[in-house]
Chain A
Amino acid sequence: MSIQEMRRISGEGGRETFELIIGPVHMETENFSIIVTVEGDTVVEAKVNAGFLHRAFEKLAENRTYIQNVPLLLRVCVPDPDHAETAYSMAVEQLLDIEIPDRAKYIRTIVLEMARISAHLFWTFGMSAAVGLYTVGQWSVADRERFIELFEELTGARIYHIYNFPGGVRYDLPMGWTDKLMKVVNYMEKRLKEYDKVFFENDILITRSRGLAKISTEEAISLGVTGPNLRATGVPYDFRKLDPYAAYPYIDFEIPTGKYGDAYDRIMVRRREIEISLNIIKQAIKELPSGPIMAPIPHPLYYNVPPGDAYARVESSKGEFGFYVVSDGSDRPWRVHIRGPSFIHGVQLLEKLLKNVRIADIPVVLKSLDNCPPDIDR
């Protein structure tokens, strides 16, 4: 902890509370800071001071055409940009009233699941650093590189691959790409067992996260929590099943749920999601149809979108990621609203959960929620 400042605010009756400012220069908080009031080493109250990354996406999107917005708006969620671009593309497709071709649907599914796995592997790095098991962090980032390399071959970029476009996907799969992907998927399945031994079934992780920062289902639903954090409380709530998009209605998969809603359940839900995503990729490659990859859109760069509004959502690695786009009939959106998942579990839920947690457990709670500061600030 580097920029942290302790100040005494009251000393009545022998009880002393201190204020501790954690972040933004901190290994775990990434880019937002938490101001916690501490008594002894137990947190009494926590407040989140976000806004270090506010770039005003919602305003910038109004000055750009619908196509120019794709490379802009995917930068909302940095570890997991594919879900953002897909959600925005789906909203524009709804406005244009386009159905994307079958091959594009399957390719989107493969790309989204790869994005989910790489986001979860990136999260494993942060989680392992929070607990102090650095070996797993080295492994998981190196394994993520294998998926990133495949992304690079497919799209040309490592992180921001502007690939899912309104109307389909931009490029067809290269020759022999699916074979390479199958190799990586098989490798990853073997590798997960080693992860279990070193990290997920490790006593250090279990003792540090079991029973920590519990939430009940009602509480989570009333706050609006979605994604793995809600699933860890025992609700199989997933838009891939409830409101299927891309090729998910044709694919058979289960949704992992937790039991107690504590930090360990949240960790294990994410670990099981990696396994299920690998299965989804396998199925999607097997059933991959041939055909066009782009639906005909009016003009590739410049088109007027009929007036109306549309909300499209996807299940990203962090929860429900939605775009609400309002069109006034011109070539630029009239309003774009972004519904990021981290705004809820990174601010409201975190403030609630940090109460009565010890200082050493703050990073564990923070990382088990998997929040993404750029998506809070937007």
Chain B
Amino acid sequence: MMGFQVLETSKLLNYARARSLWIVTFCTGCGGVELPPTATARFDFERFGIISTPSIRQADLLLITGYVTPKTLKRIIIVYEMMRNPKYIIAHGSCPVNAGIYWDSYNTVKKLDLYIPVDVWIAGCMPRPEAILRALVKLMKMVKEGKALGWKRYLENFEFYRKNQDRLFGKDWRKREIEKLRFYIHD
């Protein structure tokens, strides 16, 4: 076994995870306009092994691109909880940080960090595709070193996040959401 270095399993797994981050195609807000340029021919994030996939179950990465309204936040939480476990979030633009230009709007979520754990933030309105690429590369580095632990934070502090979510939407908001949809359909 000369010349071979035995890697720990976790290190090998982290390396593999960092090299193929798959994104959920869920463009929440204006930042969705900068994603096609980042994904296609000019700045191409597929060279990092990043692919946008339509399936939530197969994805590791959720990009929150822009302002989040309560109605969207419900979907974001549902999507985030449906993803398999090593999962990461990049919040994109100034709006998730502190609601940006919509700081006095009645229908935007002001601090996203209270409801779901974010791993990497990107500032700016709009962030340039280079900034998105830089954040992705940074996340890859963090995943490789085992530092992107948002999903662990979410499991450990589940009570805290759930309490904040319930404060915003009211208790049993999942059930009520389904009932609302049913009402929407029949009326």
A137 near B40 with CB under 8 A, answer: yes
Chain B positions within 8 Å of A63 at CB level: 104
Taking a contact as CB atoms under 8 Å apart, the answer to whether B30 and A78 are in contact is: yes
Which residues from chain B contact A141 at a C-beta distance below 8 Å?
Answer: 36-37, 40-42
Which residues from 217 to 233 on chain A have a C-beta closer than 8 Å to any C-beta of chain B? none
CB atoms of A159 and B41 under 8 A apart? no
Interface size on A, residues (CB 8 A): 45
B105→A56 contact, CB < 8 A: yes
Most chain B CB atoms below 10 A, which of A30, A55, A78: A55
**Residues from chain A with Cβ under 8 Å of B181 in the complex:** 21, 35, 49
| Cα A31 to Cα B24 with chains together (Å) | 14
Over the window 32-54 of chain A, the binary record of Cβ atoms lying under 8 Å from chain B Cβ atoms (1 yes, 0 no) is 00010100000000010101111
Pairwise interchain contact A3-B56, C-beta atoms closer than 8 A: yes
Chain A residues in 8 Å Cβ range of B79? 3, 25
Chain A, residues 309-352, CB within 8 Å of chain B (1/0): the string is 00000000000000000000000000000000000000000000
A158 to B128 CA separation, bound complex (whole angstroms): 8
Is B75's beta carbon under 8 Å from chain A? yes
Contacts of A37 in B (CB 8 A): 185
Contact with A along B82-126 (1 / 0, CB 8 A): 000000000000000000011011111000000000000000011
Interchain CA distance A21-B26 in the complex, whole Å: 15
How would residues 26 to 40 of chain B score, 1 for a CB under 8 Å from any chain A CB and 0 otherwise? 111110111011001
Chain B residues with CB under 8 A of A8: none
Q: Which residues of A contact B104 (CB under 8 A)?
A: 60, 63
CA distance A120 to B125 in the complex (A): 22
- A142 (CB) vs chain B CBs: closest residue: B41
Q: How does the 8 Å CB contact mask read for B2-37 relative to A, with 1 for contact and 0 for none?
A: 000000000000000000000011111110111011
Q: Are A138 and B41 in contact (CB under 8 A)?
A: yes
- Say yes or no for A26: interface residue by CB 8 A criterion: yes
Closest to B78 in A: A3
| CB < 8 Å neighbour of B26 from A24, A137, A159 | A24
Smallest Cβ distance from B36 to chain A, in angstroms? 5
Give the docked Cα–Cα distance between A138 and B67 (Å): 27
Interface flag for A27 (CB, 8 Å)? yes
B152 at the interface (CB under 8 A from A): no
Contacts of B146 in A (CB 8 A): none
How far apart sit A232 and B159, CA to CA, in the bound complex (Å)?
Answer: 55
Taken residue by residue from 112 to 128, chain A's Cβ proximity to chain B (1 for < 8 Å, 0 otherwise) reads as: 00000000001001000
- Please pick, from B37, B106, B184, the residue contacting A35 in the complex, using a CB distance under 8 A: B184
Contact of B102 among A55, A125, A160 (CB under 8 A): A55
Within 8 A of B (CB), among A128-163: 137-139, 141-142, 144-145, 148, 157-160
A-B contact pairs, 30 of them (CB 8 A): A2-B24, A2-B54, A2-B56, A3-B56, A9-B185, A24-B28, A24-B75, A25-B75, A30-B32, A31-B32, A35-B185, A47-B185, A49-B184, A51-B71, A52-B75, A53-B72, A54-B69, A55-B102, A55-B108, A59-B106, A60-B104, A60-B105, A63-B104, A72-B101, A78-B30, A137-B40, A145-B42, A158-B128, A159-B33, A160-B126
Supplied contacts A49-B184, A56-B105, 16 more A-B pairs, CB within 8 Å: A2-B55, A3-B79, A24-B72, A25-B26, A27-B25, A35-B185, A53-B67, A54-B69, A55-B107, A60-B105, A63-B104, A71-B101, A78-B30, A138-B41, A141-B40, A148-B37
Q: Which 8 A-B pairs have the closest CB atoms?
A: A142-B41, A141-B40, A78-B30, A25-B26, A138-B40, A159-B126, A52-B72, A138-B41
